[in-house]
Chains A and B, each alone.
Chain A
């Protein structure tokens, strides 16, 4: 299979314009004759469904929650980047483009990233028009802050609930179209398979989560915007329902899966407190602006933090990275936390945490300033841990937060299956090996509001779509497959709950394919995962029937897919003999312990083709070329 990224060439500033001009348009009168399925109602899916309907297409939108407003985009706290340069501090589209390519450790496409930076500007305009209550200055102008170590203030925010406000904007636009009859919404409906006819994506098979009814929907094109797959690790900052089922089953139908091993770990999460732990909670990265990270110098020092004198503390980030200090990028901060804990210097009961201390900041600025800046985060911390961070240092530990990998898409956001588009975190497109803070919201909305609505018309205008009815062999086949999986899960009648398997799988992936990876470990875990997967199918216990709301059954199907995806992640991690961004291979580091990229051999996106469960997948490489930003070693010293 040949991967054609369809990236335009020529001057980067005009690539998107010229590309749009080259695409075919659908006549306005014909738009309502085209039907489009959008799976997902997050920032990417919600904005796409609303915009497509505004344009006149007939849209069906699906989500597994009880309302489209609950997609996990709602949880994003920090903000959204845009190259508005409202602060006159030297920002520009080019700089955002540059920062994103560099931040992605030179594993993303220049054309895509440039387009993203261009569109970022329109996103803010669109969201303001919808009534998103962004933070303002007293003058009434939009406020910005610098985020995630960026040197310019380009992050727009709405308190600590930016994702919520952006999503509600998209949700309201979507509800407007639902009310007007242009979008048909299917909440509590999970996509379980993709219908491919004559090599083109023509529909999906779904299960109504309330009634258990399995139903097929056909359309001219299918859009997946189903979010990331961080829940492979069981414990992550994702929502409990976040899953890879939609993209994984599309992968099994032929869509290539790119860079699955690129996963991002967020350094400031609330640590695990016990084996009943069900998820991890993120604390905004902005905390590192004023908090100082430390652990005791001595191993096994169990004194309470205030009894450890300054001279016996190791402010390891400030020590190792004098220039950036506590503000080093996420991957660097996370890895260092892991290292000190591996050395036995971790704090808290589990020893898997480091301190984030505001004592000095409170002394310097006063408690009220700290409260103003981080009050809601401190409250949240106290609510969860029962400790008051004004008095005792916070305990934090890294957690899986974002997945850069996803289904491979071309410049038009079309996957390797014609007619199947993938948006948002579900695709692999713009972040390379590492995502910068406040850039996922930007990408999701760029994809949904501005990219897809402009590119999908080319496909619709250049193809003919014969009607497909429910008795079509491909529809039947997909429905039977779904029924078969359900039957196997319910009939296994084993002894262990779905969650117990998921926990075990998550622990394996975290251990061997988490913050740092080794060839040896990956090879080992690649024998363990298939074993566990087989045990799963034999020993899992799912009670109840398929004709009702059955939350165990929902989870069971998702976990089944996580098993297969986990294996692919490890295969990808094992094949990538370099360290880059979120992928850190211990064998490939510089003398002082930093990631060592290998541009000569690995400057490509690795897109995997499914070859059957348990069979080795086939790798396809999309070479990456850098005409504008030249690969260099990232340095934060």
Chain B
């Protein structure tokens, strides 16, 4: 083997060894996860369609055997992204603790960047949510799911019956708030992490990130709230 082949590996190792490299990985995987969230949200919002079958048709389309390759491709990409995102976050979290073994007796936060400082908490809770969420809506381990046919879940029913349990709905809402906080910081932070910053545009970017995070929050929690309020019924 020539050194030509090993060099990219060596570069990758050196890159990832550095905290900046890890952060770049977090940013990149963050973008993938964010892209998924947006797409997923658009899918979910179809529940408001005047045609009650719309969302189920969409689900059937996604699950159709002809799309299986794509589906598993996306699932794999997401899995890899989540795993890398989590591994990097855990490594950085450990670095943080090693870097300040003795804490302050008194510490103030200026500016009070609450969302930024709580990324390590909002992240794992989101992870826990996702596991719960898959058990709930994909595998049916939480409440029984209904199918309209093979590879055609009755998404509309599953959602509405799920959110009629207040505990489930509230957990979703809490998780969405945390996701919003995660994105509130993450969506501009990832630009900074890969070195994009500009005195004029970065402040605007921060605002855009906040708006985006809040829009996602509104979109997501509207569903459990609508169900609880009786606006969405099967």
Establish whether A and B are touching in the complex (CB under 8 Å). Answer: no
